[in-house]
Structure 1
Amino acid sequence: MTIALHYCHITVNDLDDSLAFYRDALGLDVRNDVSSGEHRWVTLGSSDQPDLDIVLSEPHAGRSQADGDALQELLTKGVLPMTVFSTDDVDATFERVRASGAEVLQEPIDQAWGPRDCAFRDPSGNMVRIQQQAKA
């Protein structure tokens, strides 16, 4: 038996603003953009992980009004779980993302537990960390 992560969801306020971050700044490829009524879901991914998709959606997409409102409140507070990406060059990735105008939370530093990493907020306030594994 095998098991693997296939989808990861990130809740955002504005899909187009978020595309400028995830597609343009981080360099992910848009794999799908699906509308259903007044909502849409955008799926992105990296050629390095062809079987893993990141799905961007707004708080009320596919949810009840009450659930969407609760999710919107958490998004507004900035307390939704962070997303962590890995790269082979965190310093170059940091410069590319910073040049996009993204809010910098932490410049690249060597962490005591191993990786060199940095952190940003996406346009909706989600924390996004980017790490590079320590060289042996």
Structure 2
Amino acid sequence: MITNVSLISVFVNDIDEAKAFYTEKLGFTLQVDVTVGDGYRWCTVSQPDHPELEIQLALPGPPLDPESVEAIKRMMAKGSMHGFGIATENCRKTFDELVARGVEYVQEPSDRPYGVEAVLRDNSGNWLVLVEKHPYTQSDFD
């Protein structure tokens, strides 16, 4: 039986720079940073209160074919790669704190039917959606 999601991967341009971004700017905790066979680097971070969900900071490369690697790099350069959502109790306050730390934003906090949402970008072009959830129903979208 599946118990939870334990790992997601995010493509980054440089593992050291991404590790610094996620730990220093977002306040995540380094979980693992090791080099394994053939020089492959396995680096994960997590949100301090949820170490069970690790985020792998991965360079685009094998087992992807060269064409796919180049496509991913182009999307990262455009700043249009998907990232992941980050929950917060106060989106506007957290947004202001992160922007003050130098985190680039795509969209300032906005009221949505499901809460308050802002969109940030990591230093590799991945979108990070910051969400303060509110209770909602289908009728909130009609």
* TM-score bracket for the superposition, by shorter chain length: 0.7 to 0.9
Paired residues of 1:26 and 1:93 also in contact (CA < 8 A) = no
Q: What is the letter of the counterpart of residue 6 of structure 1?
A: S
Aligned to 2:13: 13
Q: Structure 2 length as normaliser, TM-score?
A: 0.80
Q: Tell me which amino acid in the other structure corresponds to 1:17.
A: E
Contiguous gaps of at least 5 residues in structure 1: none
Q: Once superposed, what is the RMSD of the aligned Cα atoms? A: 2.3
SS state of the match for residue 97, structure 1? helix
Q: Partner residue of 1:104?
A: 105
Map residues 23-42 of structure 1 onto 2, 5 A cutoff.
23-36=23-36, 37-42=38-43
- Counterpart of 1:110 in structure 2: which amino acid? D
Is the Cα contact below 8 Å between 1:60 and 1:69 reproduced in 2? no
Whole-Å separation in 1 of the counterparts to 2:88 and 2:130: 7
Q: How many Å apart are 1:91 and its aligned residue?
A: 2.3
- Structure 2: distance between partners of 1:123 and 1:61: 22
Aligned-residue sequence identity (percent) comes to 29
* Structure 1 CA distance for aligned equivalents of residues 67 and 15 of structure 2: 21
The normalised TM-score by structure 1 is: 0.83
Offset of 1:115 from its aligned partner?
1.4
Instruction: Report Cα offsets for 1:4-37 as digits up to 9, x if no partner.
Output: 2111100010122222321112111100012244
C-alpha contact (below 8 Å) 2:81/2:125 kept by paired residues: no
Which protein has the bigger strand share? 2
- Decide which structure has the larger Cα Rg and report it: 2
Number of equivalences: 135
Decide whether the 8 Å contact of 1:25 with 1:96 is kept in 2: no
Hey, what's the Cα distance between the residues in 2 that align with 1:61 and 1:25?
Answer: 29
Distance change in 2, residues 1:46/1:54 (3 Å): same
8 Å Cα contact 1:12-1:56 kept in structure 2: yes
How far residue 86 of structure 1 moved from its aligned partner, in angstroms, is 0.5
| Equivalent position of 1:45 in the other structure | 46
Structure 2 counterpart of 1:99, which letter? A
